[in-house]
Amino acid sequence: MSFISIEFAAFVTATLAIYYIVPSKIRWIVLLAASYSFYALYDLQNLFYIIITTITVYLGAYLIEKIAKRQNDYIAANKDSLTKEDKKNIKASSKSKQRFILWICVLFNFGILLAVKYFNPYITSVHNLSVAYINMFRLNLLHNDDFFPFKNFIMPLGISFYTFQSIGYLIDIFYGKYEGEKNLFRFALYVSFFPQIIQGPISRFGELSKELYKGAPFDFINIKSGFYRVMWGLFKKLIVADRLGGYISATMSMKENYKGIYILLALLFYSLELYGDFSGGIDVAIGVAEMFGIKLTENFQRPFFSKSISEYWQRWHITLGTWFKDYIFFPLSVNKYMVKLGKMLRERGMTYCAKKLPIYIPMLAVWLVTGMWHGSTGRFVAWGLCNFVFIVLGTEFEPISHKIVTAAGLEENSFIVRSYRVCKTFILMSFLRIFDISHDTKAAFDGVRYAFEDWGLFSWDNVYTDLLLPKEDLIVVIVAAVIMLVFSLIQRKGSIRDRVFALPATAQWLILSLLIVAVSVFGYYGMGYDAASFIYGNI
């Protein structure tokens, strides 16, 4: 079942009806049944993967807590006879046993993820997969089954997302942040909650569990609010994102012939496509959850208004960024080897390096992993490295940049400086994404070079015909993108839906009708077109 389809809408409606009919206490069971049904309807075989992860992480957490409890009980029973040193030793011994279990579970589950993702001979990037679909639709090749050799392979849906979410839970249990879930089935819901299974957000147990198990009472405002959010997500995905894949793919595959402005347009369009696709999908997920009275974590915060690359990564795919920060970057940067490195450099008088290196080394590791998370080929590693280099350069040159701004008689907070920084970040990020839309690292660097050649040869006619973006589609994209921009600007001053809901009922219905009409009329549909292929869907 596709995430964006009539079947999915019917599925959500039926689940909502049952959810609100049954008593509050057992509503979570409805969600669990719906989540597993959703997963099974997508592909029955892949249930195996999510069940394995659920059981192993559940057992891991159970054992970790059991060892911790035994230690605490022992210390409590013998508190008068134990010295401080004894207690410390008992805790250390208990912790090492817990750590052993943690590592077994982490390696096992990430092992499955790596095996599925990296030892798969067919899929190197989900973007390639979705673009291939779009192009085949464009070129009317879908009737020819042999043209697409990977059609029988399906990666376990959302495996990266639920693996990260589960392992995050286990690490939190290891650190004793909260009590683990005792009921296996309730835990299974946390891992599999269907609106977020495709592409996140990656939720934390401490927040999501309260929402999932509370059995929220029926409130029409949740349905209305969630529906608006879903429609807005569809607007971004179907009207903007899905119109652009053809142009991007055609331009990049013929970049030797279409250089200069064609490539710059492809980069601009890809930023729009990725944002519309990913944030649109997240809007659908958050909106559907909201209809059940469940609040999911936000994953985007107007990223294109970021003034630096590091800020951008705090506002784009926020839940993945915080996952990496909390579970990889932070533990690595306070690791004893980093502390020793810092000390050694300080003792040798290299105070600057002592301060920076113990941060930059873990940051490099995080960016390599982030690159690998996004795709299994070298160009994604290169993309991660470039992000790292730009962040380091941005951090190191910040004082100089500040001096230049001051010397020019400007304020950091002034409109000009902020606009300059926002534009610079947007351009840099757009260029970095060339790794994502090129077939290898060399092609990506060639693309950057070509972007600055033959500007004079640009013709809109080629865009409309050879590059598969008809004039009408371009106009729709421009208008929709301007609407998205205006909404983002308004959103800075508070929730748009709250403003809409403050309007008279007639105006609210009018806005909703316009949204529905826009998605129905201008959404990018067609025979054989699979609206459900989210770029991030199978990462």
Query: In the complex, which residues of this chain contact other proteins (CB under 8 A)?
Result: 88, 92, 175-177, 325-326, 330, 333-336, 338-339, 342, 346, 354-356, 358-359
Burial (CB < 10 A; 0-12, 13-18, 19+), residue 350, is middle
Instruction: Report CA 482 to chain centroid distance, whole Å.
Output: 24
CA distance 245 to 253: 12
CA distances from 312 to 235, 371, 421, 486 (A): 23, 16, 11, 19
Tell how far CA 129 is from the center of its chain.
18
Element containing residue 175 per DSSP (H, E): none
Continuous H helices in 292-335: 309-315, 318-324, 330-333
Query: Would you say 315 or 439 has its CB closer to other proteins?
Result: 315
Least distance (Å) from other proteins to the CB of residue 204? 10
Helices (H), 78-118: 84-118
Give the residue with the Cβ less far from other proteins, 75 or 141: 75
CB of 84 to other proteins, least distance (A): 9
Question: How far apart, in whole angstroms, are the C-alpha atoms of residue 440 and residue 36?
Answer: 37
Q: Choose between 339 and 503: whose C-beta lies nearer to other proteins.
A: 339
Closest separation between CB of residue 478 and other proteins, Å? 40
Taking the complex as a whole, the smallest distance from the CB of residue 355 to other proteins amounts, in Å, to 5
Taking the complex as a whole, the smallest distance from the CB of residue 325 to other proteins amounts, in Å, to 6
Give the span between the Cα atoms of 487 and 314, in whole angstroms: 20
> Shortest approach of other proteins to residue 323 CB, angstroms?
10
Distance of CA 316 to the CA centre of its chain: 8
Q: Which is nearer to other proteins, 5 or 78 (CB)?
A: 78
Of the pair 151, 340, the CB lying nearest other proteins is at: 340
What sign has the CA pseudo-torsion 229, 244, 479, 527? negative
Alpha helices in 1-139 (DSSP H): 6-21, 27-42, 47-77, 84-118, 126-138
Please, what is the minimum distance in Å from the beta carbon of residue 171 to other proteins? 9
Q: How far apart are CA 431 and CA 215, in angstroms?
A: 45
Taking CA atoms, 336 is separated from 225, 341, 348, in Å, by 48, 8, 18
Q: Least distance to other proteins from the beta carbon of 385, Å? A: 21
Q: How far apart are the first and last CA of the chain?
A: 18
**Closest CB to other proteins among residues 67, 284:** 67
C-alpha 201 chain-centroid distance? 6
> In the complex with other proteins, which residue's Cβ is closer, 401 or 462?
401
CA 175 to chain centre: 25
Nearer to other proteins, 135 or 335 (CB): 335
Minimum Å gap between C-beta 326 and other proteins is 4
Pick the closer one to other proteins by CB: 93 or 520. Answer: 93
Decide whether 141 or 354 has the Cβ nearer to other proteins. 354
Element (H, E) at 507: helix 505-522
Least distance in angstroms from the C-beta of 301 to other proteins: 19
Closest CA to 133 of 435, 535, 536: 535
The CA-atom distances, in angstroms, between 83 and each of 71, 78, 86 are: 15, 10, 5
Q: How far is the CB of 333 from other proteins (least distance, A)?
A: 5
The smaller minimum CB distance to other proteins, of residues 125 and 333, is found at 333
